[in-house]
Amino acid sequence: MHSADDLLSTSFLGPWVPFGNGRRQIVYLSLAHWYEAAKFMPHFPAGRDHITFSPTLKEVQRYARLHQDHWRNDWSLVRPSVLIMGLGLLAIQRPELNLYRCDLELIGHGLAKMRLPVRFADACLERFDVWRRGPRFSFFGADLAPDPVVGQKVGKMVTPLATWTLLSPCNGRTPWRLHDWSITHFVPVQYVGEVKERMSRPLIERIIGHSDLVVVFEARGSHRHDVAIQVAKSMKRKLSLELYDTQPVNQSIAGLK
């Protein structure tokens, strides 16, 4: 960051969330807007929307304080993850802030106007430092694989981790159940590609190029994801191939808790 003030004066996009029959991304005017809006998500969207359209930090904080009866019941438990996810989204989308390498003390100064408890802010910054040095995972075939197969694999991968990043397309081949589970657990998501971009080799290469570990779910006897496997090997990325027998797909991801 050129200045600590940049942290609360830079806008970014939230994750893709269901909206009507499709999905949308919400623009958050600052990290503080994201943090205060999350107090009302997902059960009180009117509060979230009021905050996202509020122009000043003072107004955002005042509204959240006056409507505390609408805060999510588990706010005291999830608020560290909310703040870290917001910092992660900023780091991913706004590389000019240099949050991946920026001194934590400068980031702390940038958070000052949010009036967070000092110990809480310091603990969050320590976890953010773990996140920015942590692994980035991409998944191919999770949109077609049975949910128990996906759930067991992902659960085994992420349970020992303090935090991680999901690399994901945002097109018709996005594994939305896995994606939505990730954002409900406040996992930062780095989107690669455009909404209408097909799952071509160049897009696969861009996704894998940002990944530390590539997980491919493939039906036994199928060669649907050979390109992803070939690209991961050629880029010397860690690769996990999960073979499964074809069976009906459930409606929820079992094994992710």
Q: Note the pLDDT tens digit of each residue in 64-91.
A: 999 999 999 999 999 999 999 999 999 9
Q: Report the domain count for the chain.
A: 2
Model confidence at 205, pLDDT cuts 50, 70, 90, reads very high
122 & 226 share domain: no
128 & 9 share domain: yes
Looking at the predicted structure, is the pLDDT value of residue 250 above 60?
no
Give the pLDDT of residue 162.
87
110, part of any domain? yes
9 & 122 share domain: yes
127 & 179 share domain: no
Looking at the predicted structure, is the pLDDT value of residue 39 above 70?
yes
Give the pLDDT of residue 246.
83
Looking at the predicted structure, is the pLDDT value of residue 257 above 90?
no
The last residue of one of the domains, among 63, 98, 132, is 132
255, part of any domain? no
75 & 29 share domain: yes
Looking at the predicted structure, is the pLDDT value of residue 214 above 70?
yes
Looking at the predicted structure, is the pLDDT value of residue 52 above 70?
yes
Give the pLDDT of residue 4.
78
pLDDT cut 90: percent of the chain above it: 91
More confident residue, 2 or 216: 216
What CATH number should be reported for the domain holding residue 179?
3.40.50
The pLDDT of 217-239, averaged and rounded, is 97
Give the pLDDT of residue 55.
93
251, part of any domain? no
250, part of any domain? no
Domain that holds residue 11: 4-132
Looking at the predicted structure, is the pLDDT value of residue 2 above 80?
no
8 & 109 share domain: yes
86 & 148 share domain: no
Q: Note the pLDDT tens digit of each residue in 113-143.
A: 999 999 999 999 999 999 999 999 999 999 9
- Round to whole Å and give the CA distance between 160 and 174: 25
Record the pTM: 0.91
